[in-house]
Structure 1
Amino acid sequence: MDKDLHVVLVPYAAFGHLFPFFHLSIALAEAGIRVSFISTPRNIQRLPKPPSELSAFINLVAFPLPVIDGSSLPEGAEATVDVSLEKEVDLRAAYDLLCHPFKKFIANESPNWIGVDVFPHWVIDIAANFRVPVFCFSVVSAATMVFRGPPECLTGEGLKKVRPSPESLTSPPEWVTFPSSVAFRRGAEANGSYYLYYNGHLGERVSKVLNGCKAVAVHTCKEIEGDYLEVLEKIYQKPVIPVGFFPLDQPEQRDYHDEEWLKIFNWLDQQKPKSVVFVGFGSTCKLSKDQVHEIAFGLELSNLPFLWSLIKSEEASEIVDDVDVLPPSFIKNTAGRGLVCIGWAPQVEILANPAIGGSMFHAGWGSVIENLRYGHRLIVLPLVFDQILNARLLVDKGLAVQVEQNEDGSFSRDAIAKCLRQAMASEEGNQIGLKAAEVAAAVNHPTLHQEHYISEFVQYLKNGVRAQN
């Protein structure tokens, strides 16, 4: 019976969700479980190819994204990276219509389990209709989930009582009984997060999924978030199962060994071990021109060697000469000490290079995990909701320094330079380095994640099926 176990996975249409769900697919397939991964054609094309030996266990199911009359979605837009924040509402509306082909798929397949993201709330009713148990797979940190709170506090009277205003987000919730800085600050942080997550429909989606699932799997491990995992199980009153950190993808089979990247890696190979700061904010969080300039001047003032992977913002997308995105004279003033690459970068291979010793980034959970694997000193500059909470968690755990930001979220070149030097050239930075090395040893344990965390989760799934029979 166990070898015929079939799990359907339903991630949201964002890279930070798609990839962890894909990695969970791989881990389950390696344990002998058959997986159907549901998404749209373009998003599936963006994923790495599953290992050939697992092809019989993984079915990548592509449902075309429905077109809504009057929608402002750009042609070919299927993930949050393809749209502005304002247009994400249209993307969610189109994504919700996948409920129709999904219902037919479940009717035909009769899977043993459905693993759902926190946003596709329509999965819950379909699963109940066909009597298929559901687990929620959270791709954010346990600390973020704890801060959100139990489902009854995300909507209605419970929300009004616990989260009546943005001010209520500026301290840890009452169910956190240990010292914690995981909360928002007054101003843009609290206001933006409140109106995005606590004053709209997103809370209702999350609440429905959490209420309707039998268990919650979390992309984390006890070695880093054991205290928050214990709180989660208390407030959810259902099993909360950490699945650990999945093995990193091998560098993508792209032609990044062209002349430019050969020069960059040759330059890295000439730097002292653990001396270079990697700066990267990914493709989802596009920096404004002012933010780019402050980071550039901060790097210049720090006098530290750096490698900066820069994605141009929409306002800079029309600039033909990439160098014009940066302040005048920046390239000249940092020549020999730092490099800037515009556009896509092989981040995993960069982070793995012995010359990299620190990383300045937005504290998105996926990037946190990548950096923790290599024991880098972290300089965090969060821009949106869960990044802010992750940044506070990392500082609390002694793994990061956070760039000082004003109430409106802005930051200065001096704050950038100060944090860079603090992390890379101070006694406090040395302590962060020691703590980071300790965490890296746990994160990279050869058997802990697949043989312990995934095995425990697989056993839970199998026991759940046996209990139904």
Structure 2
Amino acid sequence: MGKNLHVVMLPWSAFGHMMPFFQLSMALAKAKVHVSYISTPKNIQRLPKISPDLQPFIHLVSIPFPALTFGFLPEDAEATVDIPFEKMDNLKLAYDLLQQPIKQFIGDQLPDWIIVDFSAHWAVEIGKEFGVPLVYFFVSCAATCVFFTSLENISKANTEDHDVLPSPESFTSPRDFGTFRSMIAYRKHEAVDMHAGFYELNDSGISDSDRHTKILSACQAVAVRSCNEFEGEYLEAYKNKFGKLVIPTGLLPPEQPSAKREISFDGSPNNVIFDWLDKQKPKSVVFVGFGSECKLSKEQVFEIAHGLELSELPFLWALRKPNWADSDADALPPGFVERT
């Protein structure tokens, strides 16, 4: 790669998307590729620090939501973690309003590539106008990528004939990809929700399926957060289906902690968590984590805590302070930490 190669990153405003894009940015920077990573100011501030040796290659570009978004998003909300699930369509509306300032940036910079998430379907027109090719970066595993795209009819994706779309029931059956048969399928109740979320028109005016299909049809290559050792068959199946270049990026794990382990998840002294884990027997610790997008009620949190106590097993629970809790202590039943 030439030292002057420049790519623009356009991640969706969710940390499950922004972090893989950020990790890919660092991997590219290590190869001396210049990266412009675009997101909103609050999201940029919440990203990890960039090591000094990579700072010359990564430009974090803060573009705020236009003032038009005030009123239909909570104050200071810039990512899915900041909003209730029912406001998701409003965030997509706000994200789509970034189209013009991002177009201006790309027109000024004329990068060599745009690496785009599913959300920025309008990047297709921007790329065509300025002659900048697109790479579609799929942040989920290859199996998910193949599963959903195998349900698409790309040639009819932009028509109004919604009868071509698969039914929720089609989500419940494993697929045959020619060289192998997958075991992946959704349960019926999961299929109903996933089908509605992916295919149905939402308040943003375009379904997630149409965003995905538009970018997939126009991109020059698909990058998938996976590797041949882990999902070689699925990566090959995806390549065979569309005949496009499929690039496994690797799993993009976060940077390894330093030898001093200067990390603390809960404010406790350094090394406490790691030292405790080192003393546990192999395969003995229960890890509990639902991700930042799952906003548990007080009743749900207390029930999980009760279940962990009843199990009498050592556990590590990653729990962000819920909105309903005034402090970290309020997020758990009285005496829970002391008892464990």
TM-score, normalised via structure 1 length: 0.64
- Aligned-pair CA distance for 1:283: 1.9
Indicate the residue corresponding to 2:79 in structure 1: 79
Instruction: Check the 8 A contact 1:66/1:95 in 2, yes or no.
Output: no
Task: State the distance in 1 between where 2:327 and 2:247 align.
Answer: 49
User: What is the DSSP-based 3-state SS (H/G/I as helix, E as strand, rest coil) of the residue aligned with 2:111?
Assistant: coil
Alpha-carbon separation, structure 2, partners of 1:262 and 1:59: 33
Output one character per residue of 1:170-229: Cα deviation in whole Å (capped at 9) or x when no partner.
112454652322111112x11111111022211111111101101000010011111111
Structure ranking higher in helix proportion = 1
8 Å Cα contact 1:41-1:62 kept in structure 2:
yes
Identify the residue that residue 160 of structure 1 maps to in structure 2: 163
Cα distance change, pair 72–268 in 1 and its aligned pair in 2 (3 A): same
- Distance 1:292-1:181 versus aligned 2 partners, 3 A rule: farther
Residue 45 of structure 2 aligns with an amino acid whose one-letter code is: Q
Q: What is the alpha-carbon distance in structure 2 between the residues aligned to residue 142 and residue 42 of structure 1?
A: 30
1:115 is displaced (CA, Å) by 0.7
Query: What is the rounded CA distance, in whole Å, between the counterparts of 2:250 and 2:295 in structure 1?
Result: 29
Give the direction of change, closer, same or farther, for the CA distance of 1:219–1:102 in structure 2 (3 Å limit): same
Q: Does 1:303 align with 2:334?
A: no
Relative to structure 2, which stretch is displaced further, 69-78 or 254-263? 254-263
Task: Show structure 2 runs of 5+ residues with no match.
Answer: 202-206
Name the SS of the counterpart of 1:275 in structure 2: coil
Change in CA separation of 1:202 and 1:176 when aligned onto 2, cut-off 3 Å: farther
Q: Bigger shift: 281-290 or 100-109?
A: 281-290
Shift of 1:273: 4.7
2: distance between equivalents of 1:294 and 1:152?
43
Is the Cα–Cα contact under 8 Å of residues 142 and 218 in structure 1 kept in the other structure?
yes
The question of 1:30 aligning with 2:39 is answered no
Separation (CA, whole Å) in 2 of partners of 1:199 and 1:214: 27
Between the aligned partners of 2:161 and 2:176, the Cα distance in structure 1 is 14
Written as runs of structure 1 = structure 2, the 5 A alignment for 1:239-318 is: 239-251=245-257, 258-259=267-268, 264=273, 267-314=276-323, 317-318=324-325
The equivalent residue for 2:210 is 204
Which residue pairs with 1:56 in the alignment? Answer: 56
CA distance in 2, matches of 1:100, 1:308: 42
Task: State the SS of the aligned residue for 2:137.
Answer: strand
Q: In structure 2, how many angstroms separate the alpha carbons of the residues matched to 1:61 and 1:282? A: 26
Equivalent residue, structure 2, for 1:433: none
Contact 2:153-2:165 within 8 A present in 1 as well:
no
Query: Any conservation in 1 of the 2:147–2:175 contact (CA below 8 Å)?
Result: yes
Equivalent pair of 2:175/2:181 in contact (CA under 8 Å): no
Measured in 2, the distance between the counterparts of 1:260 and 1:40 equals 33
Q: Which amino acid aligns with 2:290?
A: F
- Quick one: structure 1 residues 99 and 162, their matched pair in 2 at CA, closer, same or farther if it must change by over 3 Å? closer
Deviation at 1:75, TM superposition (A): 1.3
Letter in structure 2 aligned against 1:161: V
Distance 1:288 1:181 in 2: 33
Deviations 1:242-265 (A, max 9, x none): 011224234597776854676655
TM-score where L is the length of structure 2: 0.86
Contact 1:277 1:305 in 2 (8 A): yes
Which residue does the alignment assign to 1:452?
none
Query: After superposition, what is the alpha-carbon deviation per residue over 1:27-85, rounded to whole angstroms, capped at 9, x for unaligned?
Result: 11111111111111111111112221122211111111123266321111111111111
Aligned mate of 1:186, from 179, 188, 191: 188
Equivalences for residues 403-422 of structure 1 within 5 A: none
* CA–CA distance in structure 2, aligned partners of residues 134 and 274 of structure 1: 43
The answer for the alignment partner of 2:3 in structure 1 is 3
Measured in 1, the distance between the counterparts of 2:282 and 2:173 equals 40
- d(CA) in 2 for partners of 1:15 and 1:321? 22
State how far apart, in whole Å, the 2-side matches of 1:233 and 1:273 are: 38
RMSD in angstroms over aligned alpha carbons? Answer: 2.8
Post-superposition CA distance 1:301-344 (Å, at most 9, x none): 43321122223544xx1466835644x77667xx3xx4xxxxxx
Tell whether the 8 Å contact from 1:159 to 1:198 is kept in structure 2 after alignment.
no
The answer to whether structure 1 residue 96 and structure 2 residue 103 are counterparts is: no
Question: Which amino acid in 2 is paired with 1:2?
Answer: G
Amino acid at match of 1:232: Y
The answer as to whether partners of 1:219 and 1:244 remain within 8 angstroms in 2 is yes
Task: Flag structure 1 segments of 5+ consecutive residues without an equivalent.
Answer: 339-469
- Match for 2:173 among 165, 171, 174? 171
1:199 partner letter: E
Does 1:222 pair with 2:228?
Answer: yes
Within 1, Cα distance between the matches of 2:104 and 2:328? 50
Q: Deviations over 1:140-179 (max 9, x none)?
A: 111111111255358457863350x211211124546523
Amino acid at match of 1:280: G
Contact 1:11 1:17 in 2 (8 A): yes
**Conservation of the 8 A alpha-carbon contact between 2:139 and 2:224:** yes
> Contact between 1:319 and 1:325, CA under 8 Å: does it hold in 2?
no
Residue pair 1:162, 1:168 contacting (<8 A) in 2 also: no
Give the distance between the partners of 1:219 and 1:105, measured in 2 at CA: 27
Write the distance in 2 (CA, Å) between the matches of 1:20 and 1:36.
15
Q: Secondary structure at the match of 1:245?
A: coil
Match of 2:204 in 1: none
Q: Closer, same or farther in 2 for the Cα pair 1:32/1:269, shift >3 Å?
A: closer
Name the counterpart of 2:145.
145
